[in-house]
């Protein structure tokens, strides 16, 4: 680089605080749309779930996964997405601000770039421009990482059951927002299922999986490892990444080439993880 080092101003660099995240831990970067309640009103998102808006979130998240091959899985619901880096991740020396800002800005860039594909007749215009906040949280082991993922999916379920019931009472039952809210106060899941079924003939189980389960993104490998245990799905596993440099490079290349898939399935029970052992290994 040019001779700009060692100027009398150089000392200001020392004011920077280092912010590396604890080694050997899972890193979750969760982003969330800023003021999306208002934004979704402004662009007339369908209630309770606008499918276009979810597809757009997922499309932007897929691009983030492709851009950052270190990511092993991501989970999205509503206006939020959680991106997961494995304990071995060394991207940006695990610097907190670098990881979070890169994910937030890459996601936002794609969200805005892809908007016209999903909302062709609703152009974005200031001051309602989408932006996202983000934070990194570290988790010390796989059990707690999985509990984190479960927490988000349970949240998805609880919110979606509430929103589905609320908006059915308003849109199909002709109730005011206040009356619907009042009646739902203090109800449990079975109460809401019953309101939906008895009053509106809706079986909540038949609602779309994307709304009930949220969206999980992971890499689907085409290459079959000889030792991989055969699974009912057409998938193969990648061996544990504890090997030599060249093997690690090979895995990295594999990760980059692998297709990112979008799924709407249960990630709370063991089954999802047992059938895709490479995600957490």
The answer to whether 275 and 228 have CB atoms below 8 angstroms apart is no
Among Mg ion, ligand ATP, none, what does residue 235 contact (CB within 5–8 Å per kind)?
Answer: none
What are 120's two structure tokens? Answer: 């062709």
- Residue 82's nearest CA partner among 103, 110, 52, 109 is 103
Number of residues located near Mg ion, criterion CB under 5 A: 6
Angle, vertex CA 74, rays to CA 84 and CA 260, nearest 5: 115
Per CB under 6 A, 36 contacts ligand ATP: yes
- Residue 20's nearest CA partner among 81, 106, 89 is 89
76 is in an annotated binding site: no
Per CB under 6 A, 116 contacts ligand ATP: no
Per CB under 5 A, 36 contacts Mg ion: yes
For ligand ATP, the closer of residues 40 and 108 by Cβ is 40
| Helix H or strand E segment including 271 | helix 271-274
Per CB under 6 A, 35 contacts ligand ATP: yes
Give the C-alpha distances (Å, rounded to integers) separating 96 from 17, 27, 53, 138: 11, 9, 28, 10
Per CB under 6 A, 183 contacts ligand ATP: no
Q: How many CA atoms lie within 13 A of 85 on its CB side?
A: 29
Taking the complex as a whole, how short is the minimal distance between the CB of residue 203 and ligand ATP, in angstroms?
21
Among ligand ATP, Mg ion, none, what does residue 98 contact (CB within 5–8 Å per kind)?
Answer: none
Per CB under 5 A, 70 contacts Mg ion: no
Give residue number: closest CB to Mg ion. Answer: 32
CA–CA separation, 47 and 164 (whole Å): 8
For ligand ATP, the closer of residues 160 and 237 by Cβ is 160
Q: Which residues are annotated as a binding site for GTP?
A: 32-37, 78-79
Residues binding ligand ATP (CB under 6 A)? 32-37, 40, 45, 47, 49-50, 53-54, 78-79
């Amino acid at each position: 680089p040019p001779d700009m080092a060692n100027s009398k101003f150089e000392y200001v660099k020392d004011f920077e605080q280092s912010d590396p995240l604890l080694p050997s831990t899972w890193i979750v970067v969760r982003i969330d749309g800023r003021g999306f309640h208002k934004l979704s009103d402004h662009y007339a998102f369908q209630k309770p779930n606008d499918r276009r808006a979810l597809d757009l979130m997922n499309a932007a998240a897929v691009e983030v996964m492709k851009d950052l091959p270190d990511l092993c899985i991501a989970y999205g619901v509503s206006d939020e997405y959680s991106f997961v880096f494995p304990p071995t991740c060394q991207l940006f020396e695990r610097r907190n601000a670098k990881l979070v800002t890169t994910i937030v800005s890459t996601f936002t860039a794609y969200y805005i770039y892809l908007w016209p594909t999903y909302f062709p007749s609703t152009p974005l215009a200031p001051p309602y421009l989408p932006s996202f906040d983000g934070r990194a949280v570290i988790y010390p082991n796989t059990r707690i990482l999985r509990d984190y993922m479960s927490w988000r999916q349970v949240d998805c379920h609880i919110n979606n059951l509430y929103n589905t019931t609320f908006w059915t009472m308003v849109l199909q039952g002709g109730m005011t927002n206040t009356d619907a809210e009042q009646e739902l106060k203090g109800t449990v899941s079975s109460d809401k299922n019953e309101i939906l079924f008895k009053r509106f003939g809706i079986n909540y189980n038949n609602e779309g999986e994307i709304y009930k389960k949220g969206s999980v993104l992971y890499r689907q490998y085409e290459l079959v490892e000889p030792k991989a245990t055969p699974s009912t799905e057409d998938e193969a596993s990648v061996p544990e990444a504890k090997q030599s440099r060249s093997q690690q490079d090979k895995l990295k290349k594999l990760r980059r080439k692998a297709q990112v898939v979008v799924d709407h399935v249960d990630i709370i029970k063991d089954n999802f993880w047992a059938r895709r052992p490479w995600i957490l290994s």
